[in-house]
Structure formats: structure tokens, C-alpha cells
Amino acid sequence: MSSVRRKNEEKMEMVEEGLPDSEGRERIVADILVVDDDPRICRSLAHYLGREGYGVRTALNGKEMRRRVTEKPPDLVILDLILPDEDGLTLARELRARSDVPIIILTAKFGAADEFAELEFGAADYITKPFDEQTLLARVHSLLRRMPQQEHVSQHPEGETQPGSQGFVGRAAQLLPADSQELSRSLEEQRGLNRILRAIQDAQTPTQVLEIAVDHVLQVSWLGMQASAAAFLVRGQQLHKVVSRNLPPAVDVGCAQVVLGQCLCGRVAETGKPIVCAHVNECALEDKRHDHAEGMVDHGHVILPLKWKSQVQGVLCFYLPAGDKLGDRRSNFLESVAAILATTIGRLNYQSQLAQSDRLSSVGLLAAGVAHEIRNPLGLVLGNVEWLEEDLPPLLEQCRDLRKRLFEELGAEHATALLSGVPGLRNDKLLNDMAQCTRSALDGVRRVRSIVGDLGTFSRADDNQLSEVSLADVLKCAITLAHNEIKYRARLTRDFKQTPPVLANEGRLSQVFLNLLVNAAHAIDEGDYENNEIRVRLWHEGEEVIAEVKDTGKGIAPADLPYVFEPFFTTKEKGVGTGLGLYISNNIITAVGGHIDVESTVGRGTRFAVHLPAVAPNH
């Protein structure tokens, strides 16, 4: 999309060529000096920058920094604001007095006064702690490619100029008097990025991040943008428009959802490569789905992917005046904005997923604790009820024999009078009810024991150990735990064939099938139990063991079906689903070499089939 600006090339000879970085942009080869009293920060910065091909040296204090600078002037200095022996701003001022080397200040402060002080003392930019890799690289790369490059030169005592010692900027200020204007523009750009960083730091959702950022970009006067823009987030195989600013009505409606690969924004999302066009008719695609030129005032486009960890999170789209080819300065600025937004959105999504995983882990720990605490009193109750169930029938039989003997020896009249105060001996109904209640109590206690055992199995889902597992036992465990969700919604039927074991984690498989069963139950409204069914099947086919959960519920719309395994995608009402259940389940199954198939028809129901490799007989 952009190239590194090389100003006044006729005055300056280059000894180092730009190399393509991981995003396909040109990368400046440079020597960077990191000055921080925390060795861990030095190591982290050296790792991040070194991985991008930069040469990195480190210093833990001001004295060591001076020695490093004397040994070999760096092309860029990343300097901690607070050092144990000296103030970072004082060192920055000293460095600027000696050379034109650009300086990035590392600071934990975040305020306008600090920014003014840092820039006043010669810093070109600053990064707040804690920082992340993508923001750091975007700021370093953005700064370096804005600085004029020249051959490394130094002055020997005899006055002879020698290559290799004055640094990345060197005597550029002497050779290029106009560079003070370029530096001023660079600082203006960095201030713009800093304002966006401040504005989005308290945003809670990706949509909020994009809304704030788009509005700030449109307010940057020197960018010369039109007032129209849009921002999209990737959800499954579609882009969903979450920000719209002054779009033509037809575009605003037509681009609410864009399939990846279609239209300009969909193409950017699919390829991860930006698009710039100066005239709308240059942007037409072969499929003609989005004919921008028809009925619209001529304009240009700049569309940028929001990539984090090689994954496209979303897309930014800005309108340009017709014929505007953007140029390096503005394209560099927008690339930096896109990198910052991609990192911020990626971290928000990751933090959300971690928070959900943490909650699930907490539920697992709670379940394990509750199961453990229930076992002891449950054992006592179970023992007593089993004793009662065993000894009560003989006792009841003795009562019947006693009643019979009374009638035989005393006669009916006297026996009836005698037993009138003892209803339990007068007829069999009460005796039979006692026996039935005891049997029911025993069944209930045994069911509680089974639930506690299944709960313990489910709570061990964070255990990574694999073993041979009976899928039938796993399904029975999941059915027990899901019973309360199912019982008022549908009949549950089972069809289990004899199958070989699978190599997996029993707790995690229980988590998968519990999720499938609960989802099936939630797809069916309560109140029509007899006319709805959840069917669970298990069979062996070739080298696979297959378990199926099929319901007669609402079904999933065809447009949503491809995205059911995507994180945070849910068709349930807000507050009911997190959108992580099927995503986690799919990861669990694929991790052990299996896969999940899904079929669905709206109004008729959904079928999930879990395929797992069977353990070979001689395993």
C-alpha cells in the first residue's frame, strides 16, 4: 500500500535496503539501543525487535547508555523515563545535543503534561507501560520510515570522513535543512496516534474502539478525508458493519453484512491486503455485486485490514476525494492506526475469552468442592436407606404374621378392637406404602450419588491426561447432568450400540456432550414435551466411533450455520449464551483427532455428529 519515503536521494547514498516485514511492508534495517533498568523489559524489547530483523543493544543505566552510544551511535533509542542514576528526560536532552538520533520514551505516565515535557526535551514519541508487541513495532517502524536515511558517517581527527559511525540520521540536518519541517510533520502524526490511543484506552468492546477511532481519524484535518467512513468486524465468514458515518443510503443498507471475498471490504478481509483506489470506477469487481460507480458521486477509497496475530479482526473503510492517491505520509499514518486498533480489538477478544475460561474453571473448581462435600453425608444417608430397604420387608412380613395370629387366637371382633389403635397393623396399605417409599428413597439417593460422581468427572475437564474412554459412559454422564434442562422440553431417547473405546479425556468429552444436550434442550420451548424429542445415538463405523445428538427444535438459519464453531457467535438471547460452548467443544474434539458435523433445518431441528478415532484392538 505504501513505500518508504526517500527524500533528496541525490544528496544521500544508502547502504542499507528495506526488507519486507511479516505484513509485506518495507522494513528499515536499523540499530536500536534499549535503555531500561529492568532487565526483563530489555529482554522483551530485544526479543520483539530482533524477531523483526532490527539490531538491538541494551543498557541498564545512563552510564552504560553513554558507553554504548560512544561505541556505535544507534539509529534509534528507546529510553526509560525513570532510571536509577539519572532522569530519562535529562539523558534525552543530552542525546539530542550530541546527535539527531530519534528517541522514544518509555513511561508509565499518561498525560498531556508528560507528553509536552518529553517532546520538549527531544523525544520523537513515547510508549506507555505496559505495552504490547504490535503497538511497539508499529510505533518503531512508523518512526524509522519517516526519518531520512543516509550512509553512516563520522569525522576522523584529521578531518577525513569515514563510513559507519554517525548513525541512522547522522548529519542529515546539515545536508537537509528542510528536515525540520519533516520532523514537525512526524511529531504531528505521532500526536495524532497518541490521541487515538488515549481515546480508546477505556473502550470496553471492539465496536466502541472502532467508533471512537473512526471519529478521531475523520477529525484529523491534514488527512484530507471525506466525512464518510465505515468499520466492520469479522464474524465467521462475514463482515458485520458496526460503524457507519455518512454513507450513501444504498451502501449503508447493502453493506450491513458482507461475505468475505465479495466487494472491496470483503476482499480486504479475505486477503488481508489493503486496497487504495483514486476513482470509484476503478474499484468495480467482476461479480458486480457492488457497483460503486452507479448513481454515486465519484470518489476514492482506502480500505485497511485490522490484523492481529495474522488473523483479520475487521476492516476500516474511508472515502477519499476523487483522484486522491493518498500518498506515503497519510498511508503510513492510517497503517499505524490500523495496527493499533487491530491489537486493541484482538486483546479485548482474548481477554473476554480468558475471563470466560476463568469463570468456567471457577465453576469446575466449585463443582469439585461441592461434590467432595456432598459425598460424606450422602454416604451416611445412603447407608441408612439401604439398611432400611433391606430390613424393612422382613419386619413388615412379621407384622402381617402377627395380625394373622391375633385374628386366629382372639377372633375377628376382639382382634379388630385390639388393632384399632394400630393402623399399620390393621391393613396392608400402609405397610405396602412404607416399602414403596423406602425403595423410592433409595433410588433417589443412588441418583444423587450418580450425579455427584458425574459432577466430579465433569469438574476434571481441565486435566490434560488422555486415557481409553467408553463413550457410552460419557454420554450417560452428560445425560444425567442435562436431565433438568431436558425433562420439561422433550422426550430423550437413546440408541447405544457396542463400540470400542476412544483415546480422550473423560471430563472434557463430558463437557462436549453436556454442551450439545443443553443446546438441544434450549432449541425447544417448554410445554410440549410429548411432541418433541432429543435423540442420542452411538455406533461404530469403520475406524470411527460416532455419537449423535439430534433434536426437533427451532433449527439454525443457513446463514448462521457456517459460524456456529466461531468464538463468541451465538443465536441465543443476550444473557443466555456466551458463544463459546461450541467453539470450545470443537477444539476439544479436534485436539484428539476427531471432528464435529452439523446439519440443521429451520423449524425441524438440528443434528450434531461427533466423530472420534476408535482405539485399535491391539492398542
Residue 297 has pLDDT above 90, yes or no: no
What integer is the mean pLDDT of 48-76? 88
Among 316, 302, 307, 233, which residue's Cα sits nearest to residue 566?
Answer: 233
Taking Cα atoms as reference points, which of 461, 488, 464 lies closest to residue 477?
A: 461
pLDDT band at residue 169, thresholds of 50, 70 and 90? very low
Answer CATH for 1-198 from 3.40.50.970, 3.30.1330.10, 3.40.50.2300, 3.40.50.300: 3.40.50.2300
Give the residue-averaged pLDDT of 280-293: 53
Identify each DSSP E strand in 371-510 by its residue range.
467-469, 491-496, 502-504
Query: What are the residue boundaries of the structural domains of the chain, listed by start?
Result: 1-198, 202-326, 353-459, 461-619
Question: For residue 203, how many other CB atoms are within 10 A of its CB?
Answer: 17
Neighbouring residues of 84: CB distance < 8 A, sequence distance ≥ 6: 37, 61
pLDDT at residue 455 is higher than 90: no
pLDDT of residue 359: 62
Q: Contact 247/230 with Cβ under 8 angstroms? A: yes
Give the model's confidence band at 162: pLDDT under 50 very low, under 70 low, under 90 confident, else very high. very low
Task: Work out the average pLDDT over 66-93.
Answer: 84
Percent helix / strand / coil, the chain, rounded to 5: 50, 20, 30
Q: Which residue has the higher pLDDT, 287 or 32?
A: 32
What letter represents residue 45's amino acid?
A: L
Model confidence pTM above 0.85: no
Kindly report the CATH number that applies to the domain delimited by 202-326.
3.30.450.40
- The secondary element (H helix, E strand) that includes residue 548 is strand 544-551
- Residue found by looking up cell 476482499 in the block: 267
Select the highest-mean-pLDDT range: 83-92, 110-119, 153-162, 225-234.
225-234
Find how far residue 430's CA is from the centre of its chain. Answer: 62
Q: Distance (Å, rounded) from C-alpha 124 to C-alpha 96? A: 11
Q: Which of 21, 364, 347, 372 is nearest to 204 (CA)?
A: 347
Q: Sorting pLDDT into bands at 50, 70 and 90, what band is 322? A: confident
Average of per-residue pLDDT across 128-146? 72
Residue indicated by cell numbers 440408541: 495
Counted residue by residue, the chain has a size of 619
Architecture label for domain 461-619: 2-Layer Sandwich (3.30)
The string of pLDDT tens digits covering residues 369-385 is: 676 677 778 777 888 88
Distance CA 527, CA 300 (A): 57
